[in-house]
Amino acid sequence: MTKFEGWIEEIICELNASWAIAKKDVAIYYFKPNILVSSALFPLFMFLAFAVGRPAEPVTLIPGLIAITILFSSSSIEPVSIPIERRMKTFDRLLSAPISLHAIVLGESLSGFFYSIGIASVPFMIGFVFFGIIPVNLFPFIIGVILTAFCFATMGTLFAAYPTDNPGDIMSMLNLVRLPLIFISGIFVPLTSIPFPGQYVALCSPLTYGADLIKAGFEGTTLFHPLVDIAVLCFFIVFFQILANKLYKKFNE
Does residue 12 lie in a domain region?
no
Does residue 50 lie in a domain region?
yes
- The pLDDT value given to residue 50: 65
Does residue 59 lie in a domain region?
yes
- 104-147 pLDDT, tens digit per residue, is 999 999 999 999 998 888 888 888 888 888 888 899 999 999 99
Does residue 36 lie in a domain region?
yes
Helices (H), the chain: 3-29, 33-36, 42-51, 58-74, 78-87, 90-96, 101-131, 138-159, 167-184, 196-202, 206-219, 226-251
- The pLDDT value given to residue 53: 61
Does residue 66 lie in a domain region?
yes
Q: How far is the C-alpha of 55 from the C-alpha of 62, rounded, in Å? A: 14
Q: Could you tell me the pTM of the whole model?
A: 0.90
- 46-57 pLDDT, tens digit per residue, is 677 666 666 667
Q: Centre a 10 Å sphere on the Cβ of residue 61 and count the other Cβ atoms it contains.
A: 23
Q: How confident is the model at residue 150 (pLDDT cuts 50, 70, 90)?
A: very high
Domain that holds residue 77: 23-251
Does residue 15 lie in a domain region?
no
